[in-house]
Amino acid sequence: KANRKFHPEDTVVDVSGRKLGGGHFCMIAGPCSVESAEQITEVAQAVKGAGACVLRGGAFKPRTSPYAFQGLGPVGLDLLRVARQKTGMPIVSEVMDREQLPHFADVDIIQVGARNMQNFTLLRAVGEMGKPVLLKRGLSSTIEEFLMSAEYVMAGGCEQVILCERGIRTFETATRNTLDLSAIPLLKRLSHLPVVVDPSHATGIPWMIEPMSRAAVAAGADGLIIEVHNAPEKALCDGAQSLRPQEFADLVEGLRPFVKLC
Ligand code: PEP
Ligand code: MN
């Protein structure tokens, strides 16, 4: 179902009325985690003003340490809904487990994170929700494994899958991950699904997000997903890689001549 051979035209994902893919470039932005009503609303208004069309915010967080902030859970999703209501922006958030899926019935895009890319029962169940899915590439997954995971979501019943390159594990430790730019043209040749790039998790370094965003656009990406926080130094998760609202606005301005923002 994901194969370009049997579906030559680009898939255009309908995100609650906004188009993503097939020439419609989508800027997704927001904090790593939803932390409070003030934080998510302030960031949502800022990124909307800068040109973002979808708001991100984690409520269920897959943290390496069990003692790190795990996200606000269902409360976090409620705060995201409030930010959606105030700004009109569709929302995307990560589901970690099948049991959490009932909380996601009205979330505009359901995210499956890198750590769950091969959780096949979750992939099928997410597909059965019938909502657009943002599927992130696993930390050490090949392109073929990535596409087969998209296939699981599609076999579950949802053809609206957005592929996300977020960097892979290599021997290099200077960046958090290694952004595999070659994945963009490869995925777009092998599949008709839109490809978005996450330069925040791929690099882990704020100043590298703009050059890598430009590179992703040059390589043919259909969108970007970028972490933005109103007070990165106080963030409960991934503050060190988060852009400030003004830095995000400058990044979007630099890309405007090259993309048609949705
Ligand atoms: C995230 O988007 O906050 C996240 C946890 O990403 P990934 O699954 O790519 O690590
Ligand atoms: Mn993060």
Ligand nearest to the CA of 242: 2
Smallest CA-to-CA distance from 195 within 136, 152, 260 is with 136
Tens of pLDDT along 179-205? 999 999 999 999 999 999 999 999 999
Say if 66 falls within a structural domain: no
The CB of 114 under 6 Å from ligand 1? The reply is yes
Question: Does some domain include residue 166?
Answer: yes
**C-alpha 163 to ligand 1 mean position (Å):** 13
Domain membership of residue 203 (yes or no) is yes
**pLDDT per position as a tens digit, 139-184:** 999 999 999 999 999 999 999 999 999 999 999 999 999 999 999 9
Helices (H), 129-205: 143-155, 183-190, 199-203
As to burial, measured by CB atoms within 10 angstroms (0-12 exposed, 13-18 middle, 19+ buried), residue 186 is middle
Domain hosting residue 103, numbered range: 4-52+71-257
Residues in the chain: 262
Distance CA 139, CA 136 (A): 9
* pTM listed for this prediction: 0.98
Closest-CA residue, ligand 1 atom 4, reads: 113
Report helix, strand or coil for 245: helix
Residue 132 near residue 164 (C-beta atoms within 8 A): no
| Cα 7 to Cα 162: distance, rounded to the nearest angstrom | 15
16-48 tens-digit pLDDT: 999 999 999 999 999 999 999 999 999 999 999
For residue 171, what pLDDT is reported? 98
Is 233 within the bounds of a domain?
yes
| 61 occurs within a structural domain | no
Specify the long-range contacts of residues 209-213, CB closer than 8 Å, at least 24 apart.
209/241, 209/243, 209/251, 210/247, 210/250, 210/251, 210/254, 212/179, 213/251, 213/255
ipTM over 0.90: yes
Tokens of 249: 């606005």
CATH number reported for the structural domain that contains residue 125 in this entry: 3.20.20.70
Determine the distance from the C-alpha atom of residue 123 to the mean position of all C-alpha atoms in its chain, rounded to a whole number: 16
Q: What's the total number of domains in the chain? A: 1
Each residue of 49-66: pLDDT tens digit?
999 999 999 999 999 999
The predicted pLDDT at position 215 comes to 98
Task: Name the average pLDDT for the chain.
Answer: 98
Q: Which atom of ligand 1 is nearest to the CA of 56?
A: 2
Whether 65 is in a domain gets the answer: no
Is the Cβ atom of 131 under 6 angstroms away from ligand 1?
A: no
> Ligand 1 pocket, 176 CB below 6 A?
no
